[in-house]
Amino acid sequence: MPGVMKYPRQLSAGANNTVIALSETEVAKLYTGDTRSDIGSEAEKMKFANAVNGLVVKFVRLDFHEALQAEMLVMERLKPLDFRAYEVERRELWLDVFEDELTQLHRAGFVHRDLRRPSDIGGLVFDNILLTEGGLRLIDVGISALRHQVGDRIFAKYLETEQGELQQFKTYFINR
């Protein structure tokens, strides 16, 4: 596409940000100009979730890339596996753990809000759920919400939506 910026070591590009590889163990989500998302808020939500369990990608640090003139949210590097290479029974076990860890996050006051991509955004339907050697993991907490920031009523609405997305993901993950 004309006008789309390509970065060295680019892994992916979403609606607002690009992710680049920094090393074999770290990636950075780049914040350049007005990205419509707040690096500090995303870092706070990631750290909150990391304190509950290991479902959300690990926050490493905030940094600045001089050459790219970009703020960076540095995270652990996850290397996804193709779940279709594994038996349904194993997928069911991964799903059980995923659901338990997601429930722990919900009880602690964190809701991801982006298990299923909106239909008008490119990419795979469940792009933010990755199968890794350590099981299912969540990435991209940019629109996630913390109960103490949004209040009980809004949090409950987000949670209701996420529960429906979880049911859709379970069907997709087992039957694909």
The string of DSSP codes covering 43-105 is: HHHHHHHHHH-SSBPPEEEEEEETTTTEEEEEEEPP--B-GGGS-HHHHHHHHHHHHHHHHHH
Residues 99 and 165 in one domain: yes
Angle between helices 88-108 and 39-52 in degrees, nearest 10: 110
pLDDT for the residue 18: 92
Residues 99 and 21 in one domain: no
Q: Is 71 a member of any domain?
A: yes
User: Could you report the average pLDDT of every consecutive run of 10 residues in the chain (176 residues)?
Assistant: 73 87 97 78 96 98 95 97 95 97 98 79 77 95 95 98 95 93
Q: How far apart are CA 53 and CA 40, in angstroms?
A: 20
Domain-ending residue, one of 76, 108, 128 = 76
Written as one letter, the residue type at 16 is N
Q: Is 20 a member of any domain?
A: yes
CB 24 within 8 A of CB 120: no
- The CA distances from residue 38 to 30, 94, 141, 147, in Å, are 11, 32, 11, 18
Domain CATH code at residue 60: 3.30.200
CB 59 within 8 A of CB 43: yes
Q: Which domain holds residue 18?
A: 10-76
Residues 27 and 107 in one domain: no
Residues 32 and 87 in one domain: no
DSSP 3-state of 40 = helix
Residues 129 and 92 in one domain: yes
Domain-ending residue, one of 76, 94, 116 = 76
pLDDT for the residue 2: 46
Q: How far apart are CA 77 and CA 28, in angstroms?
A: 9
Q: Is 1 a member of any domain?
A: no
pLDDT for the residue 119: 55
Residues 33 and 88 in one domain: no
Q: How far apart are CA 139 and CA 123, in angstroms?
A: 14
pLDDT for the residue 4: 63
Domain CATH code at residue 170: 1.10.510.10
Domain count, the chain: 2
Residues 106 and 166 in one domain: yes
Domain-ending residue, one of 18, 43, 76 = 76
Q: Is 96 a member of any domain?
A: yes
Is 0.85 surpassed by the pTM of this model? yes
